[in-house]
């Protein structure tokens, strides 16, 4: 009887230790539908169809990224996988600017136990450390299921407020909006690049999660489902898991970054929005041309 009790105690301790040491890695491929540049051509005759096509292709490549999520039972770090640039590749200035607006280039740390996140960002040569509470999405559990990489996944949807500092949320204005805008600016035939786009107030998010990996984690700032989120779509951006490794021999240290000026998400957004407005005023009257950092 004592022997049995000892074995049960050892087994219980082993299970607790296994949970404590549990760690996984998930690789995600992120693709965002690149905006069209017809509006730029309409306001700038210098932009040829070939230039328009080149800009759209360049934008498409910049919007294709690979991220790695390392996670345990309560925390995770999400970071873009660094890629070597092709020699002579142009558009570096725009890439830096877009990384700032899209939250790229930093390490996103999530602690679902304390419901907080930390992400280091570099914007306009300054380093920031954004520390704030994780956004709480009211997930609606749907009936649909599908398989992703051999894992059974369940569908969930939610509505979230669109970030004004995330370039991926920019949507082309429809023709009616452009006509209304033209009435307001009648007499001024020049258009600004940003005048052709708008940001919606809300975005519908569709996520696919698997209870077979019972962690409250996911890519970017997504969390709150009873299983690892393997796919997220917001209508313009799709983040899809392409590889999963559980309990690898080599462990990764999961901890937040500490570099940069500590600010809240609201404070950081206000800084970015102010700079975007400065760009807007500086570029206004350039006959719809691209921002100066875009390159051609």
Which DSSP string do the residues of 48-65 spell out, in sequence order?
-HHHHHHHHHHHHHHTEE
Tokens of 210: 């698997």
Write out pLDDT tens, residues 199-258. Answer: 778 889 999 999 999 999 999 999 999 999 999 998 889 999 999 999 988 889 999 999
Q: Is residue 139 part of a domain?
A: no
Tell me: pLDDT of 267 over 60: yes
CA 50 to CA 58: how far, in whole Å? 12
Q: Which of 44 and 81 is assigned the larger pLDDT?
A: 81
Using the Cα atoms of residue 240, residue 245, residue 246 and residue 248 in order, give the sign of their dihedral.
negative
Distance CA(55)–CA(33), nearest Å, equals: 13
Residue 32 lies in a domain: yes
More confident residue, 102 or 223: 223
pLDDT tier, 111 (very low <50, low <70, confident <90, very high otherwise):
very high
Q: Is the pLDDT of residue 18 over 70?
A: no
> Of 195 and 166, which is predicted with more confidence?
166
pLDDT at 155: 98
Range of the domain at 66: 22-134+164-199+207-283
37 pLDDT band, cuts 50/70/90, is low
Give the pTM: 0.75
pLDDT at site 74: 95
Considering its fold, how many domains does the chain have in total? 1
Q: Is residue 259 part of a domain?
A: yes
Q: What is the pLDDT of residue 279?
A: 76
146 located within any domain = no
Roughly what angle, to the nearest 10 degrees, separates helices 265-283 and 92-102?
A: 140
Instruction: Determine the pLDDT at residue 124.
Output: 82
pLDDT at res. 82: 75
Q: Is 4 helix (H, G, I), strand (E, B) or coil?
A: helix
Q: DSSP strand E in the chain: where? A: 24-32, 64-71, 75-80, 107-111, 116-123, 126-133, 140-148, 151-161, 171-172, 197-198, 202-210, 228-233, 237-246, 261-263
Residue 102 belongs to some domain of the structure: yes
The pLDDT of residue 191 is: 47
The per-residue pLDDT for 282 is 76
> Residue 110 to residues 27, 76, 194: CA-CA distances in angstroms?
16, 5, 32
Q: Residue 195: phi, psi to the nearest 5? A: -65, -20
Q: What is the reported pLDDT for 197?
A: 63
247: exposed, middle or buried (Cβ count in 10 Å: 0-12, 13-18, 19+): exposed
β-sheet bridge partners, residue 209:
154, 229
Q: What is the pLDDT of residue 71?
A: 97
């Amino acid at each position: 009887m004592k022997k049995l009790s000892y074995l049960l105690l050892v087994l219980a301790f082993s299970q607790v230790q296994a949970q404590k040491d549990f760690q996984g890695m998930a690789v995600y491929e992120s693709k965002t539908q690149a905006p069209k540049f017809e509006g730029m051509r309409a306001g700038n005759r210098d932009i040829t169809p070939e230039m328009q096509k080149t800009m759209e292709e360049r934008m498409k490549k910049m919007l294709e990224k690979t991220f790695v999520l390392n996670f345990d039972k309560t925390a995770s770090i999400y970071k873009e996988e660094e890629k070597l640039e092709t020699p002579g590749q142009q558009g570096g200035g725009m890439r830096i600017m877009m990384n700032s607006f899209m939250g790229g280039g930093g390490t996103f740390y999530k602690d679902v136990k304390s419901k907080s996140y930390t992400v280091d960002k570099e914007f306009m040569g300054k380093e920031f450390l954004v520390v704030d509470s994780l956004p709480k999405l009211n997930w609606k559990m749907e009936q649909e299921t599908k398989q992703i990489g051999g894992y059974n996944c369940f569908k969930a949807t939610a509505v979230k407020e669109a970030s004004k500092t995330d370039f991926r949320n920019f949507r082309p204005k429809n023709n009616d909006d452009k006509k209304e805008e033209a009435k307001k600016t009648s007499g001024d035939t020049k258009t600004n690049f940003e005048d052709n786009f708008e940001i919606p107030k809300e975005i519908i998010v569709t996520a696919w999660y698997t209870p077979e990996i019972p962690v409250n984690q996911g890519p970017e700032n997504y969390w709150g489902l009873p299983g690892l989120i393997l796919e997220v779509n917001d209508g313009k951006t799709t983040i899809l898991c392409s590889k999963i490794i559980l309990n690898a021999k080599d462990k990764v240290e999961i901890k937040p970054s500490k570099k940069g000026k500590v600010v809240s998400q609201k404070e950081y957004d206000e800084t970015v929005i102010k700079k975007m407005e400065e760009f807007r005023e500086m570029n206004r009257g350039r006959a719809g041309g691209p921002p100066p950092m875009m390159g051609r």
